Amino acid sequence: MEKISYMGKKYYTSERNVQIVIALLKTYGIRKVIASPGTTNMTFIGSIQNDPFFEIYSSVDERSAAYIACGLAVESGEPVVISCTGATASRNYMPGLTEAYYRKIPILAITSHRGDIAIGHLLDQQIDRRSIPNDIAMESVTVPLVKDNDDAYYCRIQATKAILALTRNGGGPAHINMHTGYSSDFSVQELPAVRRIDRFTIFQDLPTITEGIHIAIFIGSHKPFSSKEIEAIDNFCAAHNAVVFCDHTSGYYGKYGVYFALMFSQMKYTSHHLNIDVLIHLGEVSSIVPRMNIKEVWRVNEDGELRDSYRKLSKVFAMPEYIFFCSYTPDKYMPTAEFYNVCKKEYSETINMIPELPFSNIWIAQQIHDKLPQNSYLHLGINNSLRSYNFFEISDGIKGSSNVGGYGIDGGISSLLGASLANPSILHIGVFGDLAFFYDMNSLGNRHVANNIRIMLINNGRGTEFRNYGHMCSIFGDEADRYISAAGHFGNQSSELVKHYAKDLGFKYLSASNKEEFTKIMNEFVSPVISDKPLLVEIFTKTVEESEAIRILRNLRTSKQDEMKDKIVGAIKGTLGTKGKKIVKKFLR
């Protein structure tokens, strides 16, 4: 962002939230401001009044200011900012903003206040603006004072939402409620750099894709794609040498899908194939955290919302995915699958590095992922079961599902039951941990349970997720069992409890406590034939082995850079001690 070149003693405020809003206004070319007098908005007005970019007008009456803004915006064809202090001033904006709402006039009301902490304590000029009438703003956001980079990011995204609302769906007014600390420091001469986000619809000219850049598609949870949509994605990938990173909830079953969770999970290795210029983001919540070096993200979704999962969002395409991919696929092109092929090769190489795993959810997934019946549905509980199966590809024709929307342990078996009712001739196979199972076990007593249901219960006697390698709660060790991982409930791995429950409800019951026992029952669980009873298989595992399996899979590969780091840290550790080791690691990062 450019520096101010004028001569004077006052520059920009030291309040970073205000700096971010000003930087965004300049980035989006919003220069017209109607300022009303006051103290609470002094950091904003005091910062822009000497910046030649802004065209500022004064209005003592806020009601008049809002109507002046209406006239100025309509006549100039540009958005107009109105700024006021913290008392009843903002209330006087309402008539003008109501006018703007019903006429779709782009007015950005920036109201200043001392923060939520001051609400309700009989402090002077403290107006509660946390909820506003439905018809005075298309979007209302708050930008708090900034204490760290997370706050700064939050302020940027929230302010961007308000600015983009000025032109969304025909346009209209928007509102930014801006906290202030009444800083008297106006010594900042340079505004922070801010990432601009643009929203596109099918009625606009779309940005071009630079030839030869590295493109990947990442799909979170998604309803199954139609054959027409898959064809559009595949044609796009062929034209742009792109690849589709997905998991078992992505709903994509095309030619360019790579289940890269195993690669994303490596703790000491980052694939050099994952330097992505443009990541095209589809779908909703995902269990996978993709470890990539991403320059920018293009989000494609009809809702048009700013979903900035990776903090690199630059463009939002509010349109059907089919339209997007067709728009970016030329009529003539030389098809290529080079990127897809190298990713598949690296995945295959890494899979082959897996040593013998301990008896665990992951080991079982390794044994059956390629043996599941064709055209079946695989339902996975969060988080351990979903992660375990995402490490491995499953056969084409098997559809995956998981309740990742709310991302809670409840309801997985009920959702499986509901899906089985819609497709009674198709096998529905579920894998759930013990807390998730017992949370939802009442659904097994539903009289509509049919023979096309098979459930695998991974019973480790606790929420083993909280004891797993790499989990933040694992620092408590065995102490986590008391309350965090809720160990010892539901029969404490009783060998009889679930067996009697399942049999009394008409299920066939099988169990295994080691690899040999599981091998004996595996074929029945993956049989393509629907038997005369629903099936429930209970697997008894141990927390330490579940954790060790995860540790092994996350440390299959090591990059040369990481090997060098370990050698340097190891060489210095003896000399500098633990404290020195931490300092060196921080420096190397």
pLDDT given for residue 95 in this prediction: 96
- Using an 8 Å Cβ cutoff, are 109 and 100 in contact? no
What is the sign of the dihedral through the CA atoms of 104, 106, 111 and 116?
Answer: positive
CB atoms within 10 A of CB 313: 21
Task: Assess whether pLDDT exceeds 80 at residue 383.
Answer: yes
Beta strands in 370-502 (DSSP E): 377-380, 399-401, 428-433, 453-459
The residue with greater pLDDT, 125 or 151, is 151
Q: Confidence band (pLDDT; 50, 70, 90) for 397? A: confident
Q: What percent of the chain has pLDDT over 70?
A: 92
Question: Which residues are CB-contacts of 350 (< 8 A; sequence separation ≥ 6)?
Answer: 262, 263, 266, 556, 557
Distance set, CA 26 to CA 53, 70, 191, 207, 388 (Å): 8, 20, 10, 21, 47
Q: What percent of the chain has pLDDT over 90?
A: 83
pLDDT given for residue 6 in this prediction: 43
User: By C-alpha distance, which of 220, 556, 216 is closest to 386?
Assistant: 220
Would the pTM count as exceeding 0.75? yes
Lookup: tokens for 146: 């900034």
pLDDT given for residue 563 in this prediction: 59
Express each pLDDT in 312-347 by its tens digit: 999 999 999 999 999 999 999 999 999 999 999 999
Express each pLDDT in 431-473 by its tens digit: 999 999 999 999 999 999 999 999 999 999 999 999 999 899 9
Distance set, CA 411 to CA 379, 415, 435, 436, 438 (Å): 11, 6, 11, 8, 10
Q: Confidence band (pLDDT; 50, 70, 90) for 375? A: very high
Q: Which of 89-93, 222-226, 393-397, 570-574 has the lowest mean pLDDT?
A: 570-574
Express each pLDDT in 61-83 by its tens digit: 999 999 999 999 999 999 999 99
- Using an 8 Å Cβ cutoff, are 270 and 291 in contact? yes
- Interaxial angle between packed helices 149-165 and 16-27, expressed in degrees from 0 to 180 and rounded to the nearest 10: 40
Rg (CA), the chain: 29
Query: Residue 314 and residue 292: Cα distance in Å, rounded?
Result: 16
User: By C-alpha distance, which of 224, 221, 408, 243 is closest to 307?
Assistant: 221
User: By C-alpha distance, which of 247, 225, 223 is closest to 236?
Assistant: 225
* Average pLDDT of every residue of the chain: 92
Q: Which of 105-119, 179-193, 523-537 has the lowest mean pLDDT?
A: 105-119
Q: Specify the length of the chain in residues.
A: 589
pLDDT given for residue 116 in this prediction: 76
CA 261 to chain centre: 15
pLDDT given for residue 281 in this prediction: 98
Query: Residue 249 and residue 286: Cα distance in Å, rounded?
Result: 8
Q: Which of 245-249, 412-416, 522-526, 559-563 has the lowest mean pLDDT?
A: 559-563
Task: Assess whether pLDDT exceeds 70 at residue 13.
Answer: yes
